[in-house]
Amino acid sequence: MSKNITLVTGIFDLGRDNAGEGFKRPFSHYIIKFTELLRALKDYNLVVYIEDRYKDIVLQNRSMHNTCIRIKEIDEFRNHFPFYDQVSHIRKSEAWLNQAGWLRDSTQASMELYNPMVMSKMFMLHDEKIRNQFNSEYFFWIDGGLTNTIHSGYFNHDKVLEKLESYVKKFLFLAFPYETGGEIHGFERNKLNELAQTSNVEYVCRGGFFGGHKDYISEINGLYYNWLSQTLNEGYMGTEESIFSLLTYLYPELFQKHMINGDGLVYKFFDDLKNFTVDESRISLQNYTGTSLYVITFNSPAQFEHLVNSYLQQPGFIRETKNYLLDNSTDPLTTPIYKELCEKYNFEHIKKDNLGICGGRQFIAEHFETTDSKYYIFLEDDMNLYNGDGISCVNGFARKSNNLFYKILKVMDKESFDFLKFSFTEFYGNNSTQWAWYNVPQVVRERFWPNYCKLPRIGFDPNAPKTEFKNIGTLEGLSYANGDIYYCNWPQIVSREGNKRMFLNTKWGSPFEQTWMSFMYQLTKENQLSGGVLLLSPIEHNRFDFYEGSLRKEN
């Protein structure tokens, strides 16, 4: 049994015995199937939403050490579901009912509370993610009557749910082909195509079983709520499955989609899961995004692990990249610890003998050229992703952004940047100051700053020239700027062409950060290099495991 998974289910007597012809079914049938499910899932953490009059079914068939009962009366779907009025209006609309011959007798048309209930599944799943009764990493909704079409042996004999944790890395939907008809579950097909920004929505995502890692659920719940609200307010309605399908078209980076057969029965997924070995599951569902991630480290496995855990708090980082650790350590006792951590977090361990910070940076640039990745992310082992409670940095920029990894990739695709720096505020300063001014040759300083070209005799100049920004862009709430962005060794993402221009076309015998800053600034002024910086400060420099300063090398 996986203690890291919470399953959420529910059963409600909505009066299906009074549904339209072809859709009628007595509630006693659901009680039988629900009882089967409770017993089949006896070894799993389970949260059950149920009417008070039926709670004894749970008490008689489950142990309370891994069961939580949430009493939810059906009146709540009438009085507290936020879109009850819109659903009621649409399901009685002749224009909506006349879309297809079967629709008038369907559950969503003939049953007052059917859609309010099924449209609430995502909300109930999200509520349990917030409560996290069993301290789980993964949450899945499973229909209370699922054993009507799924043999319970998949759960209590084959133990297929044991493989979910290695199989699901994002948020999982099961989808079946749906290529005909003018509507999808009552949702006008042409409108759904328009909203999904596709010529034809070719599949529908099922509502009988779905879920995934907790890091994705709040974001997806918010998107689901917004799109459900918008479409119902505009008079378009299917079931929860219509909105699920729409989300996967609009936000593919958030989802894993597993295709099942055209009959839509989800047993196909559990059968596929049964036939996967754990290793095969990892291979077949690796969500590689075309991005490599490199970490350079020195004599501190603890520092490396702390960094990794900070990035694992955001979807995408580590889980969906090809990961490499450049181990520059001089202490041989750290090597086996690093190897163990690399195995744990899916990194390839590359051992070198203290190439130095910039020597290691050059090695990473040359190593990336041998890979098939489109982009790479560069991190030093003390450049953590901020996960504290602060809202803004000292310069007023936000410290966090949801789904930062995917947004960064989208910015790179949209703007074709050679490199994009992750943090506006850095340890010694920020990107409003043009730090390249200190490092370019004097002749270059006189060319670009003829009226302010003298360096201070000691320290920093409080009136140093400011960075010249050209444009500010936004993407899904993330702002960024381009212009004369200076290079430094802080976290950044680099494109394949950018890597060549920055590190490979011209190489230095003994590279220093200041040398690269000067060189790349001149490339930028010659329009040969395009850089950007996020108007965000998500990086927290945190060196807690110190080493002797004499061991530090640049190259």
Q: What is the DSSP pairing of strand 171-177 with strand 138-142?
A: unpaired
**pLDDT score at 283:** 34
Question: Between vectors from CA 410 to CA 291 and to CA 226, what angle results, nearest 5°?
Answer: 125
pLDDT at 253: 82
> Is the domain of 411 the same as that of 271?
no
408 and 279 both lie in a single domain: no
Decide which of 224, 256, 284 is a domain's last residue. Answer: 284
pLDDT 10s digits, 65-120:
999 999 999 999 999 999 999 999 999 999 999 999 999 999 999 999 999 999 99
Say if residue 274 is in the same domain as residue 316: no
Pair (273, 409) in one structural domain:
no
Average pLDDT over residues 445-471: 94
Quickly tell me which residue has 């610890």 as its tokens.
337
Query: For position 287, what pLDDT does the model report?
Result: 54
Last residue of a domain, one of 241, 267, 284: 284
Residue pair 107/24 in contact by the 8 Å Cβ criterion:
no
Q: Model confidence over 531-554: pLDDT tens digits?
A: 999 999 999 998 887 767 665 666
Given a cut of 70, whether residue 450 has pLDDT beyond it is yes
Do 280 and 321 belong together in one domain?
no
Structural domain for 350, as ranges: 291-551
Question: Helices 240-250 and 189-196: crossing angle, nearest 10°?
Answer: 30
Q: 280 pLDDT band (50/70/90 cuts)? A: very low
The Cα–Cα gap between 279 and 102 comes to: 44
C-alpha–C-alpha distance, residues 228 and 239, integer Å: 10
279 by DSSP, 3-state: which? helix
Q: Residue 34: give its domain's CATH number.
A: 3.90.550
Check residues 180 and 140 and name the one with the higher pLDDT: 140
Number of domains in the chain: 2
CATH number of the domain enclosing 406: 3.90.550.10
pLDDT(555) > 80:
no
Pair (354, 250) in one structural domain: no
**Of 122 and 551, which is predicted with more confidence?**
122
The tens digit of pLDDT for each residue in 204-254 reads: 999 999 999 998 999 999 999 999 999 999 999 999 999 999 999 998 888
Q: How far apart are CA 31 and CA 37, in angstroms?
A: 10
Same domain for 241 and 180: yes
Quick one: 229 and 349 in the same domain?
no
Give residue 551's pLDDT.
59
Please work out, in degrees rounded to the nearest 5, the angle formed at the alpha carbon of residue 175 by the alpha carbons of 174 and 177: 160
- Asked if residues 491 and 378 have their Cβ atoms less than 8 Å apart, the reply is yes
Assess whether 379 and 361 both reside in one domain: yes
Q: Which residue has the higher pLDDT, 202 or 71?
A: 71
pLDDT, position 169: 82
Q: How would residue 24 be classed by pLDDT, with cut points 50, 70 and 90?
A: confident
My answer on whether 156 and 103 are in the same domain is yes
Q: Residue 210: phi, psi to the nearest 5?
A: -160, 160
pLDDT (tens digit, 9 = 90+) per residue, 327-385? 999 999 999 999 999 999 999 999 998 888 999 999 999 999 999 999 999 999 999 99
Q: What is the pLDDT of residue 284?
A: 37
Select from 256, 284, 312 the last residue of a domain: 284
Average pLDDT over residues 415-441: 95
H helices within 27-120, ranges in order?
27-40, 55-61, 75-79, 84-91, 94-97, 107-110, 114-118
Query: Does the structure show a pLDDT above 60 at 144?
Result: yes
Both 277 and 296 in one domain: the answer is no
- Is pLDDT of 179 > 80? no
Q: CA 85 to CA 93: how far, in whole Å?
A: 13
Q: Are residues 544 and 401 in the same domain?
A: yes
